[in-house]
Amino acid sequence: MKSQFRQVALIGKYHAAVTGAQAGSTRTALEDIAHFLSSQGCEVLFERETASTVGITGYTTLDVPAIGAQCDLVLVVGGDGTMLGIGRQLAQYGVPLIGVNQGRLGFITDIPLDHYRATLTPMLRGEYDEDYRSLMHARVVRDGHCVFDALAMNDVVVNRGATSGMVELRVEVDGHFVANQRADGLIIATPTGSTAYSLSAGGPLLHPSTPGWVLVPIAPHTLSNRPIVLPDSCEVAIEVVAGRDASANFDMQSLASLLHGDRISVRRSQHRVRFLHPRGWSYFDTLRKKLHWNEGH
C-alpha cells in the first residue's frame, strides 16, 4: 500500500552555517530520506534554502509559504530548534509536520534518524497519531504603535539587561492588575515550552493537551512570587516599569531593547501546529527519555 501523502516536502537545518562534514552528513541523510519517500510513491520537494545550503540538486524546490500552500506533509530533519522555526511559519496552512531528529531525541522531533524507515512506513499509510500545539501571538506596543509582532511556540521571555540589575514588570491578565514583579525577568510558556527555559526557572511541566500557559518569574526579588498556570484564553500584558536594557525574546526571535512603558501583550494565536507521531506515541515516553526518569532503578 502506497503513501496517502502525495507531495512531501523535506526541510533540514539550514539557519546555522552547515559546512564540511556536517553538510555532507546532512545531505546524505536528506537524500536517503528523499529516495525512501519516492519509493513509497511520494513526490518529493525540497525547501529552497535547505537544498542550496547542503548542495542538493535534481528536486523541485519551494520556499516555505509555497510548501505550506502546496504540500500534503512536511518532514523536518534536524532538532527542536529547526522545528520551532518551521512550525511557526507553517501553522497557518494546517499542513502536518513530522520531526526526524539527527542528534539526540527531541521533544517535538521524536523519530531517530536511524529508525526513520521502519517508523515512517506505517505513518505514510495513514497509521499515525495527531498532536496539535497551540501558539502564542505576541505584540510589543510602544507609544500606541506596534513595534514588534511575532508568533511563539515555546515562550515569550522578558529579560533584564546583561549588566544591569533587576527589571520591574507590571503584569496584567485580561486587564486585571496582578502584580509589579521585580525579578531578572518573566517567562510566559506554552505547554510545548514548559520543558524549555520555563522548566529550568522552576516552572511546572504542562501536558501538551492542556489549554493553558505558565507564567514563571526568573529569580524573583520576592520569594513568594511563584509560577502560576493560566488559561490560554486570557490575554497577558507585561509593561516595563523600571530597569535598563531589558529585552524580549519570542522563541528565537528577539527585540533587543525595551523602553520604559513598552507593553508586551500575549494572546493565543488562531493557528495551531499539527504534528504527526508514530501510532502509540506517548508524551510520557518522551519525558522519561529526555529527563532521564527511572534511570538507576
pLDDT at 211: 97
Instruction: Indicate the residue among 74, 95, 126 that finishes a domain.
Output: 126
195 shares a domain with 75: no
**pLDDT category, 102, cuts 50, 70, 90?**
confident
Instruction: Indicate the residue among 108, 126, 144 that finishes a domain.
Output: 126
pLDDT at 253: 86
Please indicate, yes or no, if residue 280 is contained in any of the structural domains. Answer: no
275, 279, 284, 289: CA torsion to nearest 10: -90
Kindly tell me the sign of the dihedral angle through the C-alpha atoms of 227, 233, 234, 240.
Answer: positive
Task: Work out the angle between the directed axes of helices 20-39 and 116-124 (0-180°, nearest 10).
Answer: 40
Pairing label, strands 145-152, 73-78: unpaired
Instruction: Indicate the residue among 101, 126, 151 that finishes a domain.
Output: 126
Please indicate, yes or no, if residue 275 is contained in any of the structural domains. Answer: no
Residue indicated by cell numbers 508524551: 283
Task: Give the mean pLDDT of 83-111.
Answer: 91
Is residue 20 over pLDDT 70?
no
Does this model's pTM top 0.85? My answer is: yes
DSSP assignments along 53-122, one per residue? HHT--SSEEE-HHHHHHH-SEEEEEE-HHHHHHHHHHHGGGT--EEEEESSS--SS--EEGGGHHHHHHH
Of the candidates 43, 29, 92, 31, the residue with the CA atom closest to the CA atom of residue 72? 43
pLDDT at 175: 97
Give the residue numbers spanning the domain of 153: 135-269
pLDDT at 282: 92
How confident is the model over 42-89, as pLDDT tens digits?
A: 999 999 999 999 999 999 999 999 999 999 999 999 989 899 999 999
**pLDDT category, 94, cuts 50, 70, 90?**
very high
Please indicate, yes or no, if residue 78 is contained in any of the structural domains. Answer: yes
How confident is the model over 182-227, as pLDDT tens digits?
A: 999 999 999 999 999 999 999 999 999 999 999 999 999 988 899 9
Within a 10 A sphere around the Cβ of 222, how many other Cβ atoms?
A: 11
Task: Give the mean pLDDT of 26-36.
Answer: 94
166 shares a domain with 202: yes
> Which residues are 273's β-sheet partners?
133
Is residue 136 over pLDDT 80?
yes
How confident is the model over 165-191, as pLDDT tens digits?
A: 889 999 999 999 999 999 999 999 999
Active site residue 80: yes
Please indicate, yes or no, if residue 284 is contained in any of the structural domains. Answer: no
pLDDT at 23: 62
Is residue 6 over pLDDT 80?
yes
Please indicate, yes or no, if residue 186 is contained in any of the structural domains. Answer: yes
pLDDT at 162: 77
**pLDDT category, 141, cuts 50, 70, 90?**
very high
pLDDT at 13: 78
Q: Please give the C-alpha separations between residue 123 and each of 38, 199, 235, 278, 285, in angstroms, as whole numbers.
A: 15, 31, 37, 6, 19
Please indicate, yes or no, if residue 19 is contained in any of the structural domains. Answer: yes
Look up residue 212 and give its amino acid: G
103 shares a domain with 173: no
113 shares a domain with 156: no
Please indicate, yes or no, if residue 48 is contained in any of the structural domains. Answer: yes
Question: How many domains does one find in the chain?
Answer: 2
How confident is the model over 144-170, as pLDDT tens digits?
A: 999 999 999 999 999 988 777 889 999
Residue 110 contacts residue 286 (beta carbons within 8 Å): yes
Q: What's 144's domain CATH number?
A: 2.60.200.30
pLDDT at 47: 97
Strand, helix or coil at 37?
helix
Pairing label, strands 247-250, 212-218: unpaired
Catalytic residue among 72, 80, 143, 155: 80
Q: What does pLDDT average to over the chain?
A: 92
Cα–Cα distance between 60 and 21 in angstroms, integer? 25
Please indicate, yes or no, if residue 276 is contained in any of the structural domains. Answer: no
How confident is the model over 236-275, as pLDDT tens digits?
A: 999 999 988 899 999 988 887 899 999 999 999 999 999 9
Strand, helix or coil at 185?
strand
264 shares a domain with 153: yes
**Residue 196 grid coordinates:** 524549555
Start-to-end CA distance of the chain, whole Å, equals: 42
**pLDDT category, 111, cuts 50, 70, 90?**
very high
Is residue 18 over pLDDT 60?
no
pLDDT at 297: 56
